[in-house]
Amino acid sequence: MNRTALGLIIMCAAGLAGPPLAFADPRLDEKVYAPYVQNHVFELELRRGREIGGPLGRAQSDVIEAEYGLNDNVSLALVANIHQEPDGSPHLNGVGLEGVAYLGQIPHTGVDVGLYLEYIGGLNGEDDAAEAKLLLAKNIDRFQALFNFIVERPIGAPASEDFASYGYAASATWRTFGALRVGVEAFGDLGDDRGIGREGAYVGPQLRWEGHPGSSPIEIEVEAGWLAAVGADRDEADSQVRFTIAVERRL
């Protein structure tokens, strides 16, 4: 493993060290994005994140994405977010549009770079929100490291809530048997405009598999993970589970 890959792993873990500063967003609706785009491929994805234990236990977020690759560099997707409080019922809290653009590779590093932009129209009392992510990826044989730097801001929120917040999503996986990848992933916060610093996070093992059933032109991708709370998030929940299933087909 070269220094670039090692550096990406360190970036993935950097937010997990140090003392907690404040409660963190559990980021149940997030995933670790790769910067790549599949030309003329339609994908329907459903993912779920659920908190276990603590005050946030049973809180749940479901995300539905319908994505299409316009070319080799740009994809667009329609997104719907469904949220459930620990003692509440599921409700649709936003729909919106997201785009991913592959920007290229940083010379002499082998690190691929992409940009993610999203605008969500809030529903049922939720504010509109804009989000941007810098997407980084490094591939070495069977190894892949992904790192997302996240910036998000509410639109039209009261002055006391009108500030940007920062976070990250990261994973490091190895392809083992066939199309099965095994590794770790992490989601955490890095503060906001009022103060930058390491905060709570969730980190744990991840499994990912993708393949074609028989001779079908449809590809299926399945991801599952269990993440333990770290730092400030230990006061909110013990852990969280994540599950994703996606089907895609080239059109």
Delineate the domains of the chain, giving CATH numbers in brackets: 3-250 (2.40.160.40)
Write down the pTM of the prediction: 0.88
Confidence of residue 208 (pLDDT cuts 50, 70, 90): very high
Which residues on neighbouring strands pair with residue 195, listed in sequence order?
A: 192
206/226 Cα distance (integer angstroms): 7
Which residues on neighbouring strands pair with residue 240, listed in sequence order?
A: 51, 227
Nearest 5°: the CA angle 181, 184, 187 is 130
pLDDT tens-digit series, residues 87-116: 999 999 999 999 999 999 999 999 999 999
Residue 12 has what DSSP assignment?
Answer: H
Q: Is the pLDDT of residue 19 over 50?
A: no
Q: Is the pLDDT of residue 226 over 80?
A: yes
User: How high does pLDDT run on average in the chain?
Assistant: 90
92/78 Cα distance (integer angstroms): 14
pLDDT tens-digit series, residues 26-36: 789 999 999 99
pLDDT tens-digit series, residues 160-184: 788 899 999 999 999 999 899 999 9
- Other Cβ atoms less than 10 A from the Cβ of 202: the count is 27
